[in-house]
Amino acid sequence: MGIDPNYRTNRPVVKQENGVKVYGPIDPPKILGIHGTIVGVDFDLCIADGSCITACPVDVFHWTDTPGHPASEKKADPVNEQACIFCMACVNVCPVAAIDVKPP
């Protein structure tokens, strides 16, 4: 299915974490929401294969620990989303379509 491309308007911002907005709902450790506005990562879909981290030429993503999450216990967090150059490499390599990129 993949990330909801309309999450920015369909979901409330419930907090900020690592400098990025988190869109709910959240109920840790099993429901973690979508992290990021320019570069959004659905933490509930992310399986932490690392392809986005490898593909990104400007280091948008960093690993963050998510102990107890059923899909993976770490996630690619878009902590440097402001650096995004909109090349879409991360979107194209994500095996579970957990990433959405939209210019501000």
- Tell me: is residue 94 an annotated ligand-binding position: yes
56 in a known ligand binding site: yes
Dihedral pair phi/psi, residue 55, rounded to 5°: -75, -30
pLDDT digits (tens, 9 = 90+) for 19-47: 999 999 999 999 999 999 999 999 999 99
The pLDDT value recorded for residue 104 is 86
84 carries a ligand binding annotation: yes
The whole-model pTM stands at 0.97
Give the contacts of 86 (CB within 8 A, at least 6 positions apart): 101, 103
Residue 44 labeled ligand binder:
no
52 belongs to an annotated ligand binding site? yes
Instruction: Kindly list the structural domains of the chain, giving each domain's residue range(s) and its CATH number in brackets, ordered by start.
Output: 7-101 (3.30.70.20)
| pLDDT tens readout for residues 53-78 | 999 999 999 999 999 999 999 999 99
